[in-house]
Amino acid sequence: MMTADLADKVNETDISIFDHIPSQTNVNDRVSLLLIQQSLRKTGDYVYLEIGSHLGGTIQPHYADSRCQRIYSIDKRPLSQPDERGERYAYPENSTRTMRENLARAFPAADQNKLVTYDMDASEVEPSRVEIAPDFCFIDGEHTDKALLSDFRFCLSVSKPDTLIATHDSGVVVNALQTIKRQLDADNIPYERLKLAGSVYAIALGKKAGLWRERLADVLQDEDYFVRSSRFYLKRQKREARLVRWPLLLQGYRRLASLKDVLYRFVFRSDGICSL
């Protein structure tokens, strides 16, 4: 059972609840994720599904929460994986055993049986194996457009009609997010697009999608600015990845890019308004 102290941390958006297990999230990411969890808790019990769990850092607040009745963790557990920025990123000690040990050690009173794990790609999991439809899905696996499109389709196939599906490092997969929204439009599926604080981007689905916009209003950011700036920096990161074999060229490119950054911030302010 979740202790009163831990429950208070979620309800008060106290990000120290993430301190028990390392997580590749920043302060703003954690605030956004806790606000989502707060909203879920207000409606009663809920089910959480996560793709790409690594050490268990983003599972921990749900694992400790007695309102969370089931957790599905799907991770094919690679030691490294590709990225839309053109590099491969390492995930040391990436095993379900390590994650379970981390969670059990951090929250010994929690119900360990509510955690269901699948060591495979989400596309390999039969939807029927997700026996209880999730209320919230968090995608933080391979950060490529292809992987996000596949993971989102899976979440859509197993979730409740009024679910929330969010992704981390959203700027890296900004183009896939645009594809997802176009497909939802084509399929006449009602949804709300929600760029939250940090690198969290959520899509609220169903007839009650507007409620999520109200619940998360405090951390909503400008959609157009997010798309524009993400594409700008993604192109830059891809070029740097291609130039890494030529240090002098890379150094020159970075100097030029730093000047472009200043110009970009002047022309397009973070509120999405053009300065010219």
Q: Is the pTM of this model over 0.85?
A: yes
Per-residue pLDDT at 272: 44
Let me know: does 58 contact 25? Beta carbons within 8 Å. Answer: yes
Per-residue pLDDT at 245: 78
Per-residue pLDDT at 275: 32
Is the four-CA dihedral 128, 132, 135, 139 of positive or negative sign? negative
CATH number of the domain at 4-221, please?
3.40.50.150
- Tens digit of each residue's pLDDT (9 = 90 or more) over 79-110: 778 888 877 777 777 899 999 999 999 999 99
List the chain domain ranges: 4-221, 225-267
Let me know: does 269 contact 275? Beta carbons within 8 Å. Answer: yes
Residue spans of the chain under pLDDT 50: 1, 271-276
Extract the runs of DSSP E, i.e. beta strands, from the chain.
46-51, 68-74, 80-82, 88-90, 115-118, 136-139, 164-167, 191-195, 201-205
Per-residue pLDDT at 264: 66
Distance between CA atoms of residues 31 and 196, nearest Å: 9
Let me know: does 86 contact 243? Beta carbons within 8 Å. Answer: no
DSSP secondary structure code for residue 127 in this structure: G
| First-residue to last-residue Cα distance in the chain | 56
